[in-house]
Amino acid sequence: MPSHANRLFCHATKGLLAVSLAVNIAAAAPKRCDWHGPLSGGEKPYAKCVDFAALQGKILDLPKNVTRISADGISFCQTATPATGAGNADIVFVYDNSGSMTADAIYINPVTKDTAFHYLVYDRGNTCAGNLIRPLQTIGYPSREGGNWGALALSGTSGCEDNVAGDPYNARGAVIRAGIDFMAATSPTSTAGAISFNSDIKYLQEPVLVGDAANVALIKSSIHLDTSGGTIYRRPLQKARQWLNDPSLIKTGKQAIIFISDGAPNDPDGYQDLIDSRMPPIYSIYLSKSTTPDTARLSELSAATGGTFNRVNPNDPTAMETLLKSIISTITKNTLPHAVVVTNKSLSPPQTSRSTGAVTNPDGSVGMRLDSIVALQEGANRIEISLTREDNSSVTYAFTMNAAGDEIGSSSGNYSCWDMPTLTAIDKATGKPPEIYSPDGNAYQLKLTRSPSDLRDVTVAGSSANQDREGILLTKIDLSLGYPTQTGDFSYNPAKANPGPGNGILEVDGKGDLTFVWSHPRDARETVTYVLPGRVIPVLDGNVNLTIKDPVTRGETFDPAAVKDKDKVVVTDAKDHCILNCAGTEEFHASDAVPTWKITVKSPIKYTMSIYDNLGQFVNRSDGEMTAEDWAKVAKSGDSASLQFKIVPVSRDGQQLGTGAYLMHANITAMGDLVTKNSAGESIIVRNAKTEYLKRFGYLRR
């Protein structure tokens, strides 16, 4: 932008020069954004729910560069615990009885009084046990299984970091029993079963109806805590999956596993092959005060099956019980959203997206993944959301999304923002982008970098100056950067005069550009154009030629106050048509009675003009810029344009210059590294260059 906020105003003339940028011509917005539910923080971020019922009939204002509704960011808020009989499910509780669950030792921080619980593993170098206070001291505290639990006192926790007890208060048994009572009260037509595990499985209780008091007592009495051995996931998952696929055991249309553990599995045979269409959703409860590397395995298990991952502080049994009841409520509801259709009725034709699956979020809301994004045009968008619940009831929400507000440039709240897409060619021989395409027809790849979406393979439209049209398929996708980059090969024949559109080869007759355009097939506002020049003549160095007119010897009469604090340079073409700074000062440049310089340039420029008196004292300065867009509109001869720089003869305080000699110091920077076209349509590459000029002139004040 011009440094003094000057505007470049140029008149279009016959034969004006069209500009092609060297790499990409993208949409005007520097970023484009997706709309979704507000993102949560924590270990596993998700889109929090939106109260669509509250939006019914209303207008939701959005920034104008929000171009679509995200395909994986819509969640629906749900009511709290259902009333008795509101839903049912077959649930198997799987709980960890490995040796790491129970505390053997305690460290009480003398300053914070925070209590840390650890288990002792003597076959690992005895590092944590080396902190035991001698003689040994036992600290007692209440166990949720009843009575007191005793643990040895530690003087510190060095070497204990990997030995944190998963359930120091032995609370998981009592919590599961409370959860079964909760199921009996809120969902009596459900069934419940239980399995404990360590290196093997133990204390198995097949699912039985919880509406029967005897069954509730049977399940609760089957739950026992004894801690030893390792952490093997396969056996309990296999048994729970078997039960929940057995028609003689399941009594409802919904099955789920609630999996409670404190560590990653050390399965010798693995368990991943069990995760198939027969594995019910796994709602995991990870017992840990903080995130650990073990977290990922249990989190992946829940994500792969459509359940939820939840971490809870094992030092807080009440929080553990609250979480378990919340998960049970989520599972047993039969009014959860099951399917959704989202439509933008303002597009022509209307654009619709349908859900491909539902997942329950940690806050109890239900997230819906759509089969595609839904585009938003700038301005008003009439949105309709049709929601179907598990009990086949349905509801429709209708509201307006008005994408007309100020643009945003970064992700926050309901918006995820991304750079506009880029396209570039890669020379397969060098691995670098070519400046021009080779006259020998070398092999090239086309590389697209775009924001994430539901797309896989994409097709780029390629065209030549010879009116050829080809579709280029980009099949190789790389997601390692957090956003997609996609590549695919394209072929061209640089010497084919008669093109055959659709034959897979871009054909040109030895000159002209190759142009590539990609737009998201459902979001026209995510688009990019890339131009690869053909023959480049000549390769310019970007220099400018500056000549001064005869020294000015006449002054003009004017009001200095009229130009105070205004830019002192007006730029015109050779015919005195104003180009730059065309308001406020041009009336003082109607004749040659002002200092005037003629400059010949071959690209957009930036300039700085400074005036000094004959004693070297600073008088005035002006800065400005001609952008590539304005350069395209300037009348030219061949590949050059002539500009006149006329300087108001006033000081920085607005006083008219007095009679005498003055010095003009000009810095002209040619804004190169871009591709332009001359009047014959041939491509020209302009290099960056900077030239400094010093010129003396005389001024006679009348």
Q: How many CB atoms are closer than 10 A to CB 32? A: 24
The span from the CA of 66 to the CA of 523, in Å, is 11
Q: Higher-confidence residue: 133 or 589?
A: 133
Three-state DSSP class for 178? helix
* Residue 678 in this model has a pLDDT that exceeds 60: yes
Q: Which fold has domain 90-98+168-332?
A: Rossmann fold (3.40.50)
Instruction: Give the pair of three-digit tokens for residue 60.
Output: 């939701």
What is the assigned CATH class of domain 437-532?
mainly beta
For residue 279, how many C-alpha atoms fall within 13 Å in the half-sphere facing its CB?
A: 21
- The H or E element spanning position 220 is helix 213-221
| Three-class SS of 299-353 | HHHHHHHCCCEEEECCCCHHHHHHHHHHHHHHHHCCCCEEEEEEEECCCCCCEEE
Tens-place pLDDT, residues 273-320? 899 989 999 999 999 877 666 667 788 888 888 888 888 999 999 999
- Where is average pLDDT lowest: 168-177, 233-242, 325-334? 325-334
In angstroms, rounded to a whole number, what is the distance separating the alpha carbons of residues 170 and 102? Answer: 7
Distance CA 27, CA 64 (A): 13
Q: How far apart are CA 72 and CA 501, in angstroms?
A: 38
At residue 9 the predicted structure's pLDDT band, cuts being 50, 70 and 90, is very low
Kindly report the CA angle at 519 between 513 and 522, in degrees rounded to 5?
160
Q: How many CA atoms lie within 13 A of 70 on its CB side?
A: 24
Q: Are 528 and 451 in contact (CB under 8 A)?
A: no
Query: Does the pLDDT value for residue 547 go beyond 70?
Result: no
Strand partners, 107: 116
Residue 410 is predicted with a pLDDT of: 92
Which residue, among 469, 478, 427, has the nearest Cα to 449 in the 3D structure? 478
Selection from 624, 610, 621, 613 nearest residue 664 by Cα: 610
pLDDT digits (tens, 9 = 90+) for 420-449: 999 999 998 888 998 888 888 777 999 999
> What tokens were used for 445?
């790849």
Query: What mean pLDDT is predicted for residues 244-261?
Result: 95
Residue 291 has φ and ψ, to the nearest 5°, of -70, 135
Tokens of 16: 């004006």
Which tokens sit at 638? 């061949």
Of the ranges 197-201, 252-256, 388-392, which one carries the lowest mean pLDDT score? 388-392
Per-residue burial over 652-685, b if 16 or more Cβ lie within 10 Å, else e, is eebebbeeeebbbebebbbbbebbbbbeeebbbb
The answer, yes or no, to whether residue 589 has pLDDT greater than 60, is: no
Grouping H, G, I as helix, E, B as strand and the rest as coil, residue 184 is helix
SS3 576: coil
Distances (CA, A) of 522 to 313, 339, 352: 45, 21, 10
∠ Cα 333 275 200 (to 5°): 95
Report the amino acid identity of residue 346: S
pLDDT class for 599, splitting at 50, 70, 90?
confident
Q: Which two tokens stand for residue 279?
A: 């594995």
Q: What is the pLDDT of residues 323-343, one digit of tens each?
A: 999 899 888 887 778 899 999
- Cα 281 from Cα 254, distance rounded (Å): 10
CA–CA–CA angle 543, 623, 612 (5° rounding): 90
Domain chopping of the chain, boundaries: 34-75+337-417, 90-98+168-332, 105-153, 437-532, 539-699
Condensed to tens digits (0 to 9), the pLDDT of residues 502-520 reads: 898 888 876 678 899 999 9
pLDDT value, residue 557 = 54
pLDDT in the model for residue 586: 57
pTM for the model: 0.62
Residues 626 and 670: beta-carbon distance below 8 Å: no
Helix (H, G, I), strand (E, B) or coil at 123: helix
- Give the 3-state secondary structure of residue 407: coil
**What is the pLDDT confidence band of residue 624, given thresholds at 50, 70 and 90?**
confident
Given a cut of 60, whether residue 83 has pLDDT beyond it is no
Q: Percent of the chain at pLDDT above 90?
A: 44
Topology of domain 34-75+337-417, CATH: Immunoglobulin-like (2.60.40)
Query: Is there a contact between 87 and 333 (Cβ–Cβ < 8 Å)?
Result: yes
Cα torsion angle, 314, 320, 324, 330, sign: negative
- Encoded amino acid at 111, one letter: V
Torsion of CA 318, 319, 325, 326, to 10 degrees: 160
Give me the half-sphere count of Cα atoms (radius 13 Å) on the Cβ side of residue 365: 19
Pick from 391, 490, 399, 577: nearest CA to 16: 577
Residue 440 is encoded by which pair of tokens? 């020998």
Write out the DSSP string of 30-72: SEEEEE-SPBP-SSS--BPPB-HHHHTT-EEEEETTEEEE-SS
**Model pLDDT, residue 635:** 82
Q: Where are the beta strands (DSSP E) in 361-449?
A: 366-370, 374-375, 379-389, 394-405, 415-419, 422-427, 444-449
For residues 643 and 579, give the distance between their C-alpha atoms in angstroms, rounded to a whole number. 9
- Which residue from 174, 152, 176 is spatially nearest to 103, judged by alpha carbons? 152
Structure tokens at 690: 């900077």
Q: What percent of the chain has pLDDT over 70?
A: 85
Q: What is the mean pLDDT of the chain?
A: 83
Sequence letter at residue 540: L
